[in-house]
Structure 1
Amino acid sequence: MSEPPLRAAILPVTPLQQNCSLVWCTKTMRGAFVDPGGDLPKLRDAIARSGVTIEKILVTHGHIDHCGSAGIFAEELGVPIEGPHEEDRFWIARLDEDGRNYGVAGKPFEPDRWLVDGDQVSVGELIFDVRHCPGHTPGHIVFHHPDSKLAIVGDVLFQGSIGRTDFPRGNHQQLLDAIVGKLWPMGDDTSFIPGHGPMSTFGQERKTNPFVADTVLSG
């Protein structure tokens, strides 16, 4: 069997056990970290073990467990940061304060590229589509690789749950609209890496998720 074009490793980081993803193009062995929230020694070790050359850092949203160390790591590796959407600028601006509150290293940063719905980002020869999915935070984005039927969804959707919307500028209806309008069209057979906990598929969540199953939303 030939090697799939994309490989991904999930590396839980910080006391909040956030799923940082190392994704790479198997053809070029060039990769990116998605949401390097902390525990940089663990992430450096993953680079060494995988033999991947990191070319950028991608960020789904501005919460401390997802991007507290993004600026620190990007500087260390000499790579750009892409994402999230600029509506999360206020979250990134308070990373040092949130870091103190959560006991996680946090440093504000300015992404090299803010992303909007419909943008694309490259990792090696892989092309990911960007979808703006507000609700958990106003600037939350999702990365989708259609050829691999894989999405990296941050805190929009989880196995059996959805993102919290009780944070500043969270919006429950926006979150539901993003899940149904942006994620479900990616296909029931698309697997997703959530910001916390185990992977699932959109089809599984449409059947069983107590918040967004088709039977719940049509009720």
Structure 2
Amino acid sequence: MALKYEIVPVTAFQQNCSIIWCDKTNEAALVDPGGDVSKLVAKINELGVNVTKVLLTHGHLDHVGGTEEIAAAYKVPVIGPEKQDAFWLQALPAQSEMFGFARTEAFDPTEWLNEGDEVMVGENKLAVIHTPGHTPGHVVFFSEEARIAWVGDVLFNGSIGRTDFPKGDHATLISSIKEKLFPLGNDVTFVPGHGPTSTFGNERKTNPYVADEMPIW
């Protein structure tokens, strides 16, 4: 399989930043570089990959706090999330103060994403799925070939994303999970924004928030 990834937990919130790369071209992307940039750079150097872009699932500080520093260091574009999360990115200074983080300045990405877009990491294609509910502009990155999805704070191993933030909505989040993520396949492994990985099939069986009547073979 040409697509590889390594998870690096960052910040006091232990947010899962993923370094994903193409084994054939060595081109890499960082998904949600929330902070601890020196830790991320050390891992990039250890892996020996060539960072070509930053991908953002949504605009919360613990997912985007290191974005500008990484983008400047590697001279790469910032791609995502969907434009409805612009207000979160503009509120980064206030988010920094609220959570006691070093000040993070507001920014806009190089490119906003929409449902149906595709992002390339080397020779690997990632489908962009708009998954509102936790935030209105949240997106998920899905590799059909590798059967892996980076789902940010939409779904967790045994739990789901919070919906008590501005413009969050519980019913919308449940719909995003059940109607957009689960149909991708029970075998799909997902990397959540926090905590251990799981599969959509496992969450359909065991997650108390979104379990359904899937037969257990």
Q: Structure 2-normalised TM-score?
A: 0.96
Distance (Å, rounded) in 1 between the aligned partners of 2:72 and 2:58? 19
Distance (Å, rounded) in 1 between the aligned partners of 2:101 and 2:213? 39
For 1:74, the equivalent position in structure 2 comes to 71
Equivalent residue of 2:145, what SS? helix
State the superposition RMSD in angstroms: 1.1
Provide, for residues 22-60 of structure 1, a one-character-per-residue CA deviation record: whole Å limited to 9, x for no partner: 000000011000000000010000111000000000000
State the percentage of identical aligned residues: 52
Match of 1:46 among 32, 37, 43: 43
Match of 2:202 among 201, 204, 207: 204
Q: Which moved more, 1:72-81 or 1:166-175?
A: 72-81
Moved over 4 A (4+): none
Distance (Å, rounded) in 2 between the aligned partners of 1:125 and 1:174? 33
Distance (Å, rounded) in 1 between the aligned partners of 2:175 and 2:138? 13
For 1:8, the equivalent position in structure 2 comes to 5
Count of residues paired in the alignment: 213
For 1:83, the equivalent position in structure 2 comes to 80
Provide, for residues 45-102 of structure 1, a one-character-per-residue CA deviation record: whole Å limited to 9, x for no partner: 0111000000000000000000012122212211000000000000000112211221
Spell out the pairing of 1:1-219 with structure 2 (5 A cutoff). Answer: 4-105=1-102, 106-215=104-213
Provide, for residues 80-129 of structure 1, a one-character-per-residue CA deviation record: whole Å limited to 9, x for no partner: 00000000000000112211221324222111110010000011111100
Contact 1:68–1:108 (CA under 8 A) maintained in structure 2:
no
Provide, for residues 163-189 of structure 1, a one-character-per-residue CA deviation record: whole Å limited to 9, x for no partner: 000000000000000001110111000
Q: Which runs of 5+ in 2 are unaligned?
A: none
Deviation of 1:215 after TM superposition, in Å, equals 4.1
Q: Name the aligned partner's letter for residue 74 of structure 2.
A: L
Q: Structure 1-normalised TM-score?
A: 0.95
Q: Name the aligned partner's letter for residue 65 of structure 1.
A: D
Equivalent residue of 2:8, what SS? strand
Q: Which moved more, 1:119-128 or 1:93-102?
A: 93-102
Equivalent residue of 1:38, what SS? coil
Distance (Å, rounded) in 2 between the aligned partners of 1:171 and 1:158? 17
Q: Name the aligned partner's letter for residue 169 of structure 1.
A: K
